[in-house]
Amino acid sequence: MVRGLYTAAAGMMAQQARVDTIANNLANVDTPGYKRDETAIRSFPEMLISRLEGSEAKPIGSLVTGSVVAEVKTSDSQGSLKGTNNPFDLALQGNAYFAVRAPGGEICYTRQGSFILDENSCLRTTAGHTVLGISGGRLEEIYIPGGDLQVNEDGLLSGAVNARGEAVERLALTAKPAGEVWRKGGDSLFRGAAAEAQAFEVRQGYLEGSNVNPLSEMVNMISAMRSYEAGQRVIQATDSTLEKVNQVGQI
């Protein structure tokens, strides 16, 4: 019976993690470039149950001992594009990400293409991270002295320079290698090993919406809550049975 308590509690913990993931997806349904997370749940190793008859054990089946969150995976599916007529809004189609420099100098990647110019005409994300371009084969900050950002479908820039006044030829666009797992770092940033983007298209004056389907997420939320409540009922029933056993033992 005590094993039943542990099994039900493990299932409830896994469903709670699933609910938290779904809630975060719903909270970011309107965040440009957001990629939804999916919770993968696996069972603990099964135990073989045997019946003892004298000195001989006869297998009678297996018993699942609970479940646990195996991993939280990020879906890379394309979000829908929405026209904004803002030249500083850029959307990507295909396996490509903008390279940005986060505080501390770390290079991160994002699909959030809502950019702004700071007081020095440096191109940044709305969270303040520096957008990077390619100048002479090096990653450089992008400055738009005239305030007129022009980007073509291949990511080539016009009128952009680096901090030394040299031309910045194109946006620094990277791709997630096949099989590579990136870590989310807040502010719609990803961290991990990257490769050069090959098949992509840049759309100026557009923003990529999140790939969260609110209706699907609500259905998943209801499913997770029902599974959680089922675990609660198992614990209540087991606890009630244990209470009866204790009462019998006191007679």
pLDDT, tens digit, 9 for 90 and up, residues 175-192: 999 888 899 988 899 999
Residue 224 CA to residue 245 CA, distance in Å, equals 32
Provide mean pLDDT across the span 238-243: 78
Residue 97 CA to residue 91 CA, distance in Å, equals 10
Tokens encoding 237: 């029933």
Residue 107 CA to residue 99 CA, distance in Å, equals 7
Predicted confidence at residue 178, as pLDDT, reads 86
Residue 144 contacts by C-beta under 8 Å, 6 or more apart in sequence? 117, 121, 123, 159, 160
Predicted confidence at residue 1, as pLDDT, reads 52
Strand partners, 37: 74
Give the model confidence (pLDDT) of 16-38 as tens digits. Answer: 999 999 999 999 999 999 999 99
| pTM over the 0.75 mark | yes
Predicted confidence at residue 249, as pLDDT, reads 53
Domain boundaries, the chain: 2-76+212-250, 81-208
Burial class, 90, CB count within 10 angstroms (exposed 0-12 / middle 13-18 / buried 19+): buried
Residue 212 CA to residue 30 CA, distance in Å, equals 9
Predicted confidence at residue 155, as pLDDT, reads 94
Share of the chain above pLDDT 90, in %: 65
